Amino acid sequence: MNIQEYISSGIIESYVLGLADEAERAEYERMAAIHPEIREAQNAFELSLEAAALQNTIVPPVHIKSKLLSAIDMDEQQPGTPVQPGYKEPVRPHAKVVKRDFTRLIAAAAVILLLMSTALNFYFFSRYREYNEKYVALIQQQTELATHNQILQTRLLEYERAVEMMKDPNMYVVKMPAAPNSPDSTSATTVYWDTRTKDVYLAVNRLPEPAAGQQYQLWAIVDGKPVDAGVFEMREGAGMSKMKNIPKAEAFAVTLEKKGGSAVPSLDKLYVMGRI
């Protein structure tokens, strides 16, 4: 093929303007690689085309440049997007897409945070209720324990007093077993009689629980006559009841009387008796 003919066939213009088909382009590149004059002619046409284009311009809207610069900035921050050699995929609203994606990301993050917060609220509220219930229960238990503690302290004080009395060398102990005709033959009480102060303390060893409206009464036998030494309540533990002061007596006895006590003892209800 004559090179000059080839050069002036219009193939150069066709190639440059992108009108040559695949086979024509391949042939042209083969030819151009061998014959530098083809490239020279091509360059001349390209320069005239470029000169014409640079003389005929329309200035695009100003905002496009800044948009593009921020778009390529964002492009650079996302490396790894493969550059496609072909020219098919439209990438036009790149900046817009990124912006929208960012907004979406923010919205999605907000929704996730809201859901997490709501879940945490439920969690903490149920925990709060649980702990509040536990707290109330603890307060109740604490009150119970305090009450119980008070009871124990009172009882301990009574034991201490009883032990002190039993250890006291001035204390005269009168054992009072069941009387011969006692309604309960297992009954027994003890009187502790302070020989200095003449105070009388009574400890119940065993007595049947009195019926409602009835109460046990202690008597001191003075010169063969019964003298009221006071009524007493049945008590739990080793507690002693302080009775009336008795300056002098030969014996002590306990009868069951009406509540509050009687002036004269009911001898048929004589439970225990002890001589000094």
Q: Which is nearer to other proteins, 37 or 46 (CB)?
A: 46
Residue 234 CB coordination number (10 Å): 12
Distance of CA 14 to the CA centre of its chain: 81
Q: Min. distance of Cβ 127 from other proteins in angstroms?
A: 53
Q: Which residue has the tokens 């008796």?
A: 273
Q: Min. distance of Cβ 16 from other proteins in angstroms?
A: 6
Q: Which is nearer to other proteins, 87 or 268 (CB)?
A: 87
Q: Min. distance of Cβ 63 from other proteins in angstroms?
A: 9
> Which residues are bridge partners to 242 per DSSP?
201
And the tokens for 84?
A: 């496609």
Q: Which is nearer to other proteins, 15 or 192 (CB)?
A: 15
Q: Min. distance of Cβ 44 from other proteins in angstroms?
A: 8
Instruction: Collapse the DSSP code of 244 into the 3-class scheme (helix H, G, I; strand E, B; otherwise coil) and give the result.
Output: coil
Q: Which is nearer to other proteins, 92 or 196 (CB)?
A: 92
Q: Min. distance of Cβ 3 from other proteins in angstroms?
A: 16
Binding residues for other proteins (CB under 8 A): 8-14, 16-19, 21, 29, 42-43, 45-54, 56-61, 64-65, 67-69, 71-73, 75-76, 81, 83-85, 87-88, 90-95
CB 156 within 8 A of CB 163: no
Q: Which residue has the tokens 């002190």?
A: 164
CB 191 within 8 A of CB 255: no
Q: Which residue has the tokens 């007595």?
A: 207
